[in-house]
Amino acid sequence: MEKLKETTITSEKVYDGALLRVRKDSVRLPDGKTSVREYIRHPGAVALIPWLPDGKLLLIRQFRYPLKRVFIELPAGKIDPGENPEQTGIRELEEETGYRAGRLLYLSSIHPCIGYSDEVIHLYEAFDLQRSQRCPDEHEFMEIFSLSLDEALRLIEKGEITDVKTLAGIYAAAHRKGRS
């Protein structure tokens, strides 16, 4: 793919906020001309497809400020410095839902925003869930609820699940179970 490749000429940090880090690079295009690329640097994230003992999926409802509404989502979160994705998965599931997973199964990795972010999200199914001693994180305002896989697939069809990590995670889990 050498003929599609863009190479870096200069790279500059243009915004370093509480949450977002933005870079602006000058690049050499395949035809030798130059252009500008602006993008978010992201540490990567993990999303969980958690199976409760009764066979249902554990999901959350969370208000997402950029879109000013509540979304149905899989539990998920950013990878902290020094963590591997499995550690992030166990930690975020416990913080957000109060459940501890006994076992994770890696499904796939997805790229939500390739035009302007280097974010990758690793998807894991979570099994052997047990109520943890720890309460869900008080700083996270969310509701947890459960649904069967078929109900979750119907919510995608009806356009009630539109968050891509949730959509991709549910499809990937359905595929592994031979249901899609």
Residues taking part in catalysis: 138
Instruction: From 107, 100, 146, select the one nearest 125 (Cα to Cα).
Output: 107
Residue choice 87, 108, 132, 146 for contact with a copy of itself (CB under 8 A): 108
Tell whether residue 25 is a contact of a copy of itself (CB under 8 A). Answer: yes
Neighbour count for residue 154 (Cβ, 10 Å) = 13
Residue choice 9, 34, 64, 148 for contact with a copy of itself (CB under 8 A): 64
Tokens of 164: 């891509």
x-or-dash string of contact with a copy of itself, 75-104, rule CB under 8 A: ------------------------------
Nearer to a copy of itself, 47 or 129 (CB): 47
Residue choice 9, 10, 34, 61 for contact with a copy of itself (CB under 8 A): 61
| Close Cβ partners of 101 (under 8 Å, ≥ 6 residues apart) | 48, 50, 89, 90, 93, 126, 127, 128, 129
CB of 90 to a copy of itself, least distance (A): 20
Residue choice 10, 34, 38, 148 for contact with a copy of itself (CB under 8 A): 38
Neighbour count for residue 107 (Cβ, 10 Å) = 19
Tell whether residue 151 is a contact of a copy of itself (CB under 8 A). Answer: no
Nearer to a copy of itself, 71 or 127 (CB): 71
Alpha carbon of 143 to those of 11, 51, 148: distances in Å? Answer: 41, 17, 17
